[in-house]
Amino acid sequence: MSTAERLVESTRELLWERGYVGTSPRAVLERAGVGQGSMYHHFRSKRELALAAIRRTAEELRDRAGQELGAPGAALDRITAYARRERDVLRGCPIGRLTQDPDVMADAELRAPVDDTLRWLRGRLAEVVAEGRDRGELDPSTDPDLTAAALVAAVQGGYVLARAADSAEPFHQAVTGVLTLLADRSTTGSG
């Protein structure tokens, strides 16, 4: 892994663990195992490095969700695969957590990949729900946009509930609840 890659990966982890303010250049350098000059050789500022890290995290989230939601099979099965995939629930979503970081949210450029990713996720889920509805797998009255918003809210809210309880159980309950509601709209009986 190149020095620039080590810096980005270290920043990604620190942003997830500590947020923007807690991700000091010193912490990044220590985690990456590189000297001080290395950071400023590759990135003009902490902000530029953070932006690269946030963009990378957003890209990975979209790639993984895209694979699950784009797989063959029934819409409900693909949505279930996305919602129930293995996650480090108590750490939270690396993108969702950034929405709680006032420094990221106050900076339009740092906020953009977060907003874009969550908007993309809602859109992709809405497409899958619409496919299921149009193929007769889901009730014809199922609203794809509202359903997608509820799915994203259940997953993101599940992270919050799990972290507050220091238990993954509330996350699993939130996901099971929203999937049960969606399965109740299924016309195929899968789920």
Per-residue model confidence as pLDDT tens digits over 125-146: 999 999 999 999 999 999 999 9
Phi, psi (rounded to 5 degrees) for 138: -120, 155
pLDDT digits 0-9 by tens, 30-89: 999 998 888 888 998 999 999 999 999 999 999 999 999 999 999 999 999 999 999 999
> What does the domain layout of the chain look like in residue ranges?
54-183
Of the pLDDT bands very low, low, confident and very high (cuts 50, 70, 90), residue 191 is very low
* Contacts with 148 (C-beta within 8 Å, 6 or more apart), sequence order: 121, 122, 123, 124, 125, 126, 129
DSSP three-state, residue 167: coil
Instruction: Provide CATH code, domain 54-183.
Output: 1.10.357.10
Give the up-direction half-sphere exposure of residue 155: CA atoms within 13 A in the CB hemisphere: 26
Rounded to the nearest integer, the mean pLDDT of the chain is 94
State pTM to two decimals.
Answer: 0.90
Q: What is the pLDDT of residue 36?
A: 82
Long-range contacts for 21-26 (Cβ within 8 Å, ≥24 apart)?
21/101, 21/103, 23/50
Q: CA 42 to CA 57: how far, in whole Å?
A: 18
Of the pLDDT bands very low, low, confident and very high (cuts 50, 70, 90), residue 190 is very low
